[in-house]
Structure 1
Amino acid sequence: MKIGIIREGKNPPDKRVPFTPDQLKVIQHEHAGKLKFQVQSSPLRSFSDQEYLDAGIEVVEDISDCDVLFGVKEVPIGQLVEGKTYLFFSHTIKKQPTNRKLLRTILEKRIKLIDYEALKDEEGRRVVAFGRWAGIVGAYNAFWTYGKKTALFDLKRAYECEDLQELHSELAKVQLPPVKIILTGTGRVGKGAMEVLNSLKIREVSAHDFLHLYFDEPVYVKLGSADYNRRKLDGGFDKQEFYTFPERYESHFQKYAEAGELLISGAFWEWGAPRLFELKDIGGEDFQLSVIADVSCDVGGPIPTTITTTTIADPVYDVDRQTGEKIQAFGSQTSISVMAIDNLPCELPREASREFGIQLMKWVIPALLEENSGILERATIARDGDLTIEFMYLSDFVNQYE
């Protein structure tokens, strides 16, 4: 089997890779005679062409004769090769409108698409993800933003740090007043964010204490879905019902927005679930949030102030509390500053790539060598011009023309 590592084509450029040079060297050695790798030349990767060559991996311009193609982000439509098997984050399984044409083209070109986001074990748990690194960088950027907004401290940008160790060293500059911080999400993203909060030695408190007590030090509360969603009928919460019938629930996040000043949003959100708050709420005099780091970054999703994504080069914009409109970052002390970078792990691309590659080596490489791998089958969105049974719910989405 000939496997190609494609050059990332999405703009702004993504510096991450599915596998590091050393990882490909190990895989190719362990599966000699079964797997051969080619890397498409790229001047933008965090690992250079020369590093792959030094590891004994062939670097070429044209990888169209490979059987399987690994990428990271969405492949530009014009670069898709007909009839190939691709693995990348397609960002289509939530019916994201921006990628409707991508999925339509994949079907037209009879491409087999395996989406990293859908790679799950038999218990339904995701097995490959960049979530931890999104959480780490997203939380760091939350404090970078807070420092800029308040002028209390000044941090390097995360991408200017050589590695995670330097990023943690940089956090030593953070000087916080007794601010209350909200963290949503208990998965990989949330745990990554907690690494930063713990590095800063910020104390975690219960939801009750967060809402009702005064603290003379910075504190944070970690919220799960049950903490800020309630059944419309009786105010109760049932986890299975919430994920199956989210329309039966409503948000009661407002009380946290009235107590907290900084929100780090890292919770997974299903379309149809309640938003945390509405845009009209931010103008209320009790709405205290002034910095929102939307790590999960679903435009049109649970955080209505995420009007658009931001970039590593231009990471923050403000939202006017009265009009709900996007304005210049830090242009007003009363506005809400929003950090909504949609490729956060790119700020520490080498380390993020290394961890991601370890996951692929554990779960995907062995599966590629199986005849009928269940893990790959469950993650296959499209094959031979059709959606697979698991993803037939995307039919209306893909056939909808604007």
Structure 2
Amino acid sequence: MADLRITMRHEVRESERRAPIVPADAARLVRSGVALTVERSPQRIFPIADYLDAGCVAAEPGGWRTAPTTDFVIGLKELPDEPAKLTHRHVYFGHAYKGQRDAAALLGRFAAGGGALLDLEYLTDADGRRLAAFGYWAGYVGAALAVLRHRGRLFRPLRPLTKPALDRELRPSATDTPAKVLVVGALGRSGRGARDALAVAGIEPTCWDVAETASLDHAALLDHDILVNAVLVTAPTPPFVTTDLLRQGPRRLSLIADVTCDVTSRNNVLPVYDRITPWHDPVHQATDVGDPLGIIAIDNLPSLLPEEAGVAFSAELTPHLLTLAEPGLPWQRCLRAFREACRANGLETESTHV
């Protein structure tokens, strides 16, 4: 294996508790000859001492900025606003290829610095299936929060838990009001997670997938208390719910949990809200839609179960990190997606990297 140096950066978002590489897998990388630097982080669920025990080197937050440009920088969520020019190859969820807000500005930073974005959303096999994903845990947490909100037991502000602790909150009691729940995208990873959480809650949901969304029954959709949207949309799709639809008359639907969170994307199938919801205020009340409608749209749901989600994701990602130095087809697909997105935004990419 060619020399491979990776820096796992500190996450600038305070509510981000996960890590793309957990200590056990960090040890595996180090044993395989990877030089792994881990930035210190006050909120990461896995302590820096565990990474040092695994053979990693510690660095201060933001140290990646001065690392050699041949290093890979890995994270999960958004980069800080500086530097203006990005010179490294960054591995993370960039959310910049579907027309999202500020996408052009981010891609412009990479184009200006000669760096590259290897977006984890586009790390796929030949059939387009993701090779490392948080989808299951996003669906699990999204459905769980929706049920707790419906039962009047949603804790605020949200805080990270273990799965056993969340399940204790989720199990039904004799006084709970029954909920009729619809999961759209029920057969995918996120949908499976949502269905498992609902099973803990004692709820048998209505399950829709490709066949049902091809010709959507809007009246049936509105005849549910909760809609859990777990659909992975890769191209513009007719919306499932619109403001006009909600205004048309009485409906049972009172809460949407949008696991997908494509709110600023051209692929948004729920154009009835315009911002994600934060941990301290997780439910947005939609206005001017007739009867009350709450929306949960948290774009880092798995961070509420950071240990379980991190361990599962890291296990899937680690084998592919070992191939970064001599990029195989999955990483080449990531690089191709980056270059195509730059061209679509009128940017010339003069990347110094393969």
When normalised by structure 1's length, the TM-score is 0.77
CA distance in structure 1 between the partners assigned to 2:333 and 2:188 by the alignment: 21
CA distance in structure 1 between the partners assigned to 2:21 and 2:116 by the alignment: 21
Letter in 2 for 1:282: L
How many residues of Structure 1 are paired with residues of Structure 2 in the alignment? 334
Q: What are the Cα deviations for residues 290-343 of structure 1, in whole angstroms up to 9, with x where unaligned? A: 1111111111511122321101111002113xx249xxxxxxxx4111111111
> Which sections of structure 2, spanning at least 5 residues, go unmatched?
348-354
**Number of the residue aligned with 2:335:** 380
Q: 1:75 to 1:379 in 2, by over 3 A?
A: same
Q: 1:97 to 1:195 in 2, by over 3 A?
A: same
Q: What is the CA distance between 1:157 and its match in structure 2?
A: 6.2
**Number of the residue aligned with 2:125:** 121
Q: Is contact 1:112–1:381 with CA below 8 Å preserved after alignment? A: no
**Number of the residue aligned with 1:194:** 195
Q: What is the CA distance between 1:395 and its match in structure 2?
A: 2.6
CA distance in structure 2 between the partners assigned to 1:135 and 1:16 by the alignment: 16
Give the % identical residues.
28
User: Does 2:209 align with 1:224?
Assistant: yes
**Aligned partner of residue 107 in structure 2, secondary structure:** helix
CA distance in structure 1 between the partners assigned to 2:144 and 2:271 by the alignment: 22
Q: Among residues 323, 333, 346, which one is paired with 2:303 in the alignment?
A: 346
**Number of the residue aligned with 2:170:** 171
Q: What are the Cα deviations for residues 221-280 of structure 1, in whole angstroms up to 9, with x where unaligned? A: 1111321333xxxxxxxxxxxxxxxxxxxxx34122332121111111244210012201
Structure 1 ranges of 4+ moved more than 3 A: 79-82, 155-162, 173-179, 396-399
CA distance in structure 1 between the partners assigned to 2:27 and 2:158 by the alignment: 27
**Number of the residue aligned with 2:23:** 21
CA distance in structure 2 between the partners assigned to 1:167 and 1:18 by the alignment: 22
Q: What are the Cα deviations for residues 107-136 of structure 1, in whole angstroms up to 9, with x where unaligned? A: 111102211000011222111111111111
**Number of the residue aligned with 2:45:** 46
**Aligned partner of residue 78 in structure 1, secondary structure:** coil
CA distance in structure 1 between the partners assigned to 2:150 and 2:42 by the alignment: 34
Q: What is the CA distance between 1:161 and its match in structure 2?
A: 6.0
Correspondence list, 1:194-343, <5 A: 194-203=195-204, 220-230=205-215, 252-299=216-263, 301-320=268-287, 323-324=288-289, 334-343=291-300
Q: What is the CA distance between 1:99 and its match in structure 2?
A: 2.3
When normalised by structure 2's length, the TM-score is 0.87
Letter in 2 for 1:306: Y
> Which sections of structure 1, spanning at least 5 residues, go unmatched?
149-153, 204-219, 231-251, 326-333
Larger relative contact order (CA 8 Å, sep ≥ 6) = 2
CA distance in structure 2 between the partners assigned to 1:161 and 1:77 by the alignment: 26
Q: Is contact 2:30–2:54 with CA below 8 Å preserved after alignment? A: no
Q: Is contact 2:30–2:55 with CA below 8 Å preserved after alignment? A: no
Q: Is contact 1:113–1:380 with CA below 8 Å preserved after alignment? A: yes
Q: What are the Cα deviations for residues 319-369 of structure 1, in whole angstroms up to 9, with x where unaligned? A: 13xx249xxxxxxxx41111111111111112211111101113x123224
Q: What is the CA distance between 1:191 and its match in structure 2?
A: 0.7
User: Does 2:150 align with 1:146?
Assistant: yes
User: Does 2:316 align with 1:359?
Assistant: yes
Whichever of the two has the greater Rg, that structure is: 1
Q: Is contact 1:141–1:158 with CA below 8 Å preserved after alignment? A: no
Q: What is the CA distance between 1:155 and its match in structure 2?
A: 4.9
**Aligned partner of residue 77 in structure 1, secondary structure:** coil
**Number of the residue aligned with 2:351:** none
Q: Is contact 1:159–1:348 with CA below 8 Å preserved after alignment? A: no
CA distance in structure 2 between the partners assigned to 1:80 and 1:8 by the alignment: 18
Q: Is contact 1:144–1:157 with CA below 8 Å preserved after alignment? A: no
Correspondence list, 1:35-114, <5 A: 35-61=34-60, 62-63=63-64, 64-66=66-68, 67-79=71-83, 82-114=86-118
Q: What is the CA distance between 1:44 and its match in structure 2?
A: 2.2
